[in-house]
Amino acid sequence: MTIITNGRLITPEGEVRASLAMKDGKIVRIGEMTPSPDDEVIDAAGCLVYPGFIDGHTHLDLPVAGTVTADDFASGTTAAVAGGTTTVVDFATQYKGDDVLNALKTWKEKAEGKARANYAFHMAICDWNEQVRRDLPALREEGVTSFKVYMAYDTALTDEQILDVLTEVKKFGGVTGCHCENGGLVTALQKQYLAAGHTDTSAHPLSRPAEVEAEAVNRFCYLGRLADAPINIVHLSTELGLHEVRRAREAAGCGGLSAHGISGGFRIYVESCPQYMLFDDSVYALPDFEGAKYVCSPPLRKPSDIAALKGAVMSGEIDTIATDHCSFRFDTQKQAGREDFTKIPNGAPGIEHRPAVFMKIFGDALTPSDYMRLLSENPAKVFGMFPRKGALIEEADADVVVWDPEDAWTISAANQHQRVDYTPFEGMTVSGRAKYVFVNGILAAKDGEPTAAVAGQYIRR
């Protein structure tokens, strides 16, 4: 057995001072215990012990915009475990003409044998048809319980199709997420700015204003309400969008996780990401094309949006914190848009730094139990993995992070494991580091460095 002693365990019931024993990939005991000479003992004095953190929104090995994301499942999950994330939920993507079962097979092959963190897949449905409808039960059997639709990009579905997806997914208790931006409006605004000769990165946020998100959030909430199905709004970035969520929750008398928990009917879950609570859109005016490092969609917003999102985290209106990790090299891939901001691959890295950065943003304003819920328990619940994941309880999987809240260090591209030549958080000093990270009971990282173990498994939900 491996026994973690002297730590403060952050359990579903609150903080507990006890030892935790792991064996054969499971948490076998929590309580007082005397280690035998055969046991490996991890001293967690001065540390918090969390259930492994779960990133519910990553894009690894994703072909997009004529290129492929810089991180694949090997480098992406190496970075994940280095930062304390033991499970990622990535997006298997069904392209036009493909079927969803084949898409899942493709993504499983991308990850198999390479992943240091556990992995599951949402299915991004980009070509809705009768075949996909027939395949959904089989996909459910393969362990896929969460889905994603787009309202923007060439992967967008129509409102009618989204309603159909919501209705079908609801039948087996799944949840559907949506990239809420009105793609038609984005295209129109991009054309306007380009025609006016406004081709640099500062046009990126102008072409995707808050209204574009809020309108889509509003529409997705109504679609969820019509289908009486649970929905997940991914990467919420604006105060205006938040108002739409509040209005819709109030009108239907339904909250997110904190208000009502999980159920099959209409629920609005909300995800946001640390970058939207840290940076504002002034970064897009940086010289030397530096703004391209922050080109993601939705874009970074105004200080007032940052304040609104932070308030929503504090009030429990935001259920989960993910990264939307989608990395592209600055020296090569991002350069594709030097003359035309619409050609910059959209996305930024973050899979390694989410726990430390999020805790830096909120500090003592949130408790360790709040961090545990937002970074682990809630994503496990929304995506059908609780309590096997997301909880320090006996019989749960032994995904465990021993977190040293006093370990101060500086985030830099020079010390990261993400396979990309920059980080948006360059130079940020954080206090808190994953001291020991266990994936299925196996030590996957220590003091921010991965071990040789490749212990990640596919999670059939």
Q: Which residues bind Zn ion (CB under 5 A)?
A: 324
Q: Work out how close the CB of 324 gets to Zn ion at its nearest, in angstroms, rounded to a whole number.
A: 4
In the complex, minimum distance from the CB of residue 389 to Zn ion, in angstroms, rounded to a whole number: 21
Give whichever of 177 and 390 is closer to Zn ion, judged by the CB atom: 177
Whether the CB-CB separation of 185 and 245 falls below 8 Å is answered with no
Instruction: Pick between residue 164 and residue 324 the one whose CB is nearest to Zn ion.
Output: 324
The conformational region for residue 59 under phi > 0 = left, psi -120 to 50 = alpha, else beta, is: beta
Distance of closest approach, residue 60 Cβ to Zn ion, in angstroms: 11
| C-alpha to C-alpha distance for 94 and 76, rounded to whole angstroms | 21
Question: What is the closest distance, in whole angstroms, from the C-beta atom of residue 449 to Zn ion in the complex?
Answer: 28
Smallest gap from Cβ 275 to Zn ion, in A, equals: 12
By C-beta, is 150 or 341 nearer to Zn ion?
150
- Nearest residue (CB) to Zn ion, 69 versus 218: 69
85-94 burial code (b ≥16 CB/10 A, e <16): bbbbbbbbbb
| Whether 79 contacts 71, CB under 8 Å | yes
Residue sitting closest to Zn ion (CB): 324
> Considering the complex, what minimum distance in angstroms separates the CB of residue 37 from Zn ion?
49
Taking the complex as a whole, the smallest distance from the CB of residue 386 to Zn ion amounts, in Å, to 22
| Cβ closest to Zn ion, residue 100 vs residue 351 | 351
User: What is the smallest separation between the CB atom of 70 and Zn ion, expressed in angstroms?
Assistant: 15
Q: Which is nearer to Zn ion, 271 or 404 (CB)?
A: 271
Q: Please, which residue, 90 or 168, has the CB nearer to Zn ion?
A: 90
Residues 6 or more apart whose CB falls under 8 angstroms from that of 342 comprise 190, 194, 207
Q: How far is the CB of 59 from Zn ion (least distance, A)?
A: 6
CB nearer to Zn ion: give 3 or 351.
351
In the complex with Zn ion, which residue's Cβ is closer, 324 or 421?
324
Say how far apart CA 249 and CA 28 lie, in whole Å: 40
Measured from the CB atom, the residue of 2 and 58 that comes closer to Zn ion is: 58
Q: What would the two tokens of residue 33 be?
A: 């215990």
Distance in Å, CB of 148 to Zn ion, minimum: 8
Task: Say if residues 91 and 122 touch (Cβ distance below 8 Å).
Answer: yes
